[in-house]
Structure 1
Amino acid sequence: MKTIKKLVLFGIVLFAAISAQAQTPPVDDNGLAIGGYDVVSYFSGKATHGSKSYAVKHNGATYYFANKDNQSAFKKSPNSYLPQFDGYCAWGVGAKEAKFPINPETYTVIDGKLYLFFNGPFNGEPFNTYEDWGQRTTELKKAAHANWPKVKNSK
């Protein structure tokens, strides 16, 4: 019985560790944007999960919000809160001219704009694209904005 409890506990811990590092597409197959994170919450300095209770459909995607105030703010001015590069990894667009999924908890807000990043296992090793972005922000931000028109329509 102790062995079963230990295995179950190990499974829960493993699932939590994998989930914490999970990458998500900007909009998943069900139309949920940013893994269900509240895009308005990023501007207060903390990435927060939203709730189905405060859902808003925008441009074919469903955004969740943590509360009615954030939902209202988004409805009033969605473009003020939407992430750059349709929610793809800003580093991927700037450094690799490619679309990478994101870890919704790895982000920055620069000049009132939200940038999201890949942060998780890559080829069996941890890889946080925000680290390079943080060292070369000006260069990579400029490159990402220049690259986005051609990257946007790529697969």
Structure 2
Amino acid sequence: MATEFKIRTYAVKVMAIFAILFAGFANAADPVFSNKKGAIAGADPVAYFSLLPGEQAILGSDDFTYEWNGATWKFSSAENRQKFIDSPEKYAPQYGGYCAYAVAHGSAAKISPNAWKVVDDKLYLNYNKSIAKKWVKNQDDFIKRADEAWPEVLKK
């Protein structure tokens, strides 16, 4: 009886350890493109969703920041920061904010906050406006390719 109790106690402890380890892997954050200005080069990710195509990104402020997914995100207003806090997956760019064109080609590259497009309520960023023009010509295919490539890019 005592041996059975010890075995059950041991099993419960082992399962708890695996649960903790698995939770850590399941919640591991994808990398986010950041530089000295912050995530996605300091641009306000929420603001993109109210911009017209071709408009310049709105930079965030040091007054409105939020730590998420291992990066410091900046916002142009307290309202935009709160929207992001309430639903970061809705506003965060695809592929951690790395260049969507590069990810479609199997690699990660930095971005320009002014090379962007919102497609189906998702934000995509690119290396620069020249690359963004290439990307937009066949964006559906590039999105499909990048979605497939992203897990492998993460391993690099």
TM, length-normalised to structure 2: 0.73
Quote how far apart the aligned CAs of 1:139 are.
1.1
Contact 1:85–1:152 at 8 Å: present in 2 too? no
Quote how far apart the aligned CAs of 1:32 are.
1.7
Quote how far apart the aligned CAs of 1:80 are.
0.5
Residue by residue over 1:59-107, the C-alpha shift from the partner in whole angstroms, topping out at 9 and shown as x without a partner, is 221011001110110011111111100111000011x211011001110
Matched, 1:80 2:90: yes
Quote how far apart the aligned CAs of 1:31 are.
8.0
Matched, 1:42 2:51: no
The one-letter code sitting in structure 2 at the alignment partner of 1:90 is A
Where structure 2 has 5 or more consecutive residues not aligned to the other structure, the ranges are 1-31
CA distance in 2, matches of 1:59, 1:151: 17
Runs of 4+ displaced beyond 3 Å: none
CA distance in 2, matches of 1:90, 1:137: 9
Superposed CA RMSD in Å reads 1.6
Contact 1:108–1:115 at 8 Å: present in 2 too? yes
- SS of 1:132 mapped into structure 2: helix
Where structure 1 has 5 or more consecutive residues not aligned to the other structure, the ranges are 1-24, 121-127
CA distance in 1, matches of 2:78, 2:150: 32
Q: Percent identity?
A: 36
Contact 1:50–1:64 at 8 Å: present in 2 too? yes
Alignment match, 2:114: 105
The one-letter code sitting in structure 1 at the alignment partner of 2:135 is W
Alignment match, 1:117: 126
Aligned pair count reads 121
